[in-house]
Amino acid sequence: MTEKPPVIEPRRSGLLHMMDAARYSWAGLRRLLAESAARLELVGGAVGAVLFAAVQAPLLHWVIFAALFCALLAVEALNTAIEVVVNHLSPGWSQMAKEAKDLGSLAVGLMILANLIFVAAVVCLAVLG
């Protein structure tokens, strides 16, 4: 028994295109949440939100926190996409695959660091200031 190839739908325009894009983004989010790293980042975001609530962070800090957290999830999604493509192109070990995955991991790590630095700065300023 052979699998049927997926049906490729023609591109739509206007509002229908936006609805299609939202559906693709939702599918991407579901795929991202299959990654334990993304789920851990969501826990970290929740911890950051609890800390912000505890110190009564101002609205501007909440907005910056939300933007940084969205950027973190975006970088995690791109890292996951890189890993999916690399695993397909290089199923065995290769230096190219290792470097691509290491660079993706670095990007995520730097975004986590940026988030941690910001949360720590806001909390420290609230507690000490």
The residues carrying an active-site annotation are 76
Angstrom distances, CA of residue 74 to CA of 34, 79, 103: 15, 9, 15
* Dist. CA 74–CA 64, nearest whole Å: 15
SS3 at position 93: coil
> Is the Cα dihedral 25, 67, 37, 81 positive or negative?
positive
Residues 68 and 114 sit within 8 Å (Cβ to Cβ) = yes
